[in-house]
């Protein structure tokens, strides 16, 4: 894929709403970014026009609607807390798209997206651009799961798993993956896309290796610069350490080394 130069502009918030007690969604018009963004890519967001917080925050592109970009997030620190307090009409500075993309040219495969909590975010955009046959989402409780309305327009089958059993299957998202493997019958037909907490990634990749399933992982590492300069988001691969932001965030399972 040809490398696309990121754009960097101030945008105005269209809406900033809470979907569940844990998950929020912010949207803004950014025609240039909406035209060139691809599934798996992310953006760097300056939340305040000030030095605090000094660093921009990375967010995966969640959905694109014509000229509008949507971002799914949860409050995990100061930056995301400040974002959650932003109102319609306030401004954000956005740079993107950054990073690489998921493989879009797969043929005769059953595409399975596996997301842990907010890790489901890149797969809504993916489902807009190619068939995703299964959306598997895991969380501690139903408060961390996307509402069904957020899957509107996507045809893939949804399977939820919660650790406390408050919604869907009780247990980890790997239980949902086992269900899909049994349902399909031939694991070799599957192709996985996965994003979420490191332990979840490791568990899914271990299952994939055990069943002979190929796939790709979006590595949700902490980022500072977003362009590969600070080397703060290194990922261990078979070719040595690589930056999650510039060399990723998407890596093929066969290229990754997990501890």
Closest CA to 44 of 71, 66, 64: 71
What pLDDT is attached to residue 23?
97
Mean pLDDT for the chain overall: 92
**What's the pLDDT tens digit per position in 7-33?**
999 999 999 999 999 999 999 999 999
For domain 7-98, the CATH class is mainly beta
Assigned fold of 110-215: Rossmann fold (3.40.50)
143, two tokens: 């408060």
What pLDDT is attached to residue 48?
79
In the chain, what are the domain boundaries? 7-98, 110-215, 219-259
CATH superfamily of 219-259: Dihydroorotate dehydrogenase, electron transfer subunit (2.10.240.10)
What pLDDT is attached to residue 80?
93
104, two tokens: 């879009």
What does the pLDDT average to over 96-120? Answer: 94
**What's the pLDDT tens digit per position in 171-190?**
999 999 999 999 999 999 99
Alpha helix (H) residue ranges in 54-152: 78-84, 121-129
**What's the pLDDT tens digit per position in 53-106?**
667 889 999 999 999 999 999 999 888 999 999 999 999 999 999 999 999 988
What does the pLDDT average to over 182-199? Answer: 95
Strand order in the sheet with 63-65: 57-60, 42-46, 91-98, 7-18, 24-29, 68-73, 63-65
Number of residues assigned to the chain: 259
**What's the pLDDT tens digit per position in 209-250?**
999 999 999 987 777 667 777 777 888 888 888 888 888 899
């Amino acid at each position: 894929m040809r490398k696309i130069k990121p754009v960097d502009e101030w945008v105005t918030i269209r809406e900033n709403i809470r979907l569940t007690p844990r998950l929020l969604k912010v949207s803004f018009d950014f025609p240039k970014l909406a035209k060139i963004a691809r599934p798996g890519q992310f953006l760097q967001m300056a939340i305040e026009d000030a030095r605090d917080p000094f660093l921009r925050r990375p967010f995966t592109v969640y959905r694109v609607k014509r000229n509008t970009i949507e971002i799914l997030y949860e409050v995990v620190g100061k930056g995301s807390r400040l974002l959650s307090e932003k109102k319609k009409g306030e401004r954000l500075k956005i740079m993107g798209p950054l990073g690489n993309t998921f493989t879009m040219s797969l043929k005769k495969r059953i595409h399975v997206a596996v997301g842990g909590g907010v890790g489901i975010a890149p797969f809504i955009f993916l489902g807009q651009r190619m068939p995703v046959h299964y959306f598997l989402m895991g969380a501690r409780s139903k408060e961390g799961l996307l509402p069904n309305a957020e899957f509107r327009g996507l045809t893939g089958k949804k399977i939820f798993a919660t650790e406390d059993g408050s919604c869907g299957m009780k247990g980890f998202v790997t239980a949902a993956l086992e269900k899909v493997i049994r349902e399909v019958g031939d694991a070799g037909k599957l192709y996985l896309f996965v994003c979420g907490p490191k332990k979840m990634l490791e568990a899914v990749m271990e299952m994939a290796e055990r069943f002979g399933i190929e796939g790709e992982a979006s590595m949700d590492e902490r980022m500072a610069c977003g362009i590969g300069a600070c080397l703060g988001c290194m990922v261990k691969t078979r070719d040595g350490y690589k930056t999650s932001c510039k060399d990723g965030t998407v890596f093929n399972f066969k290229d990754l080394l997990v501890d």
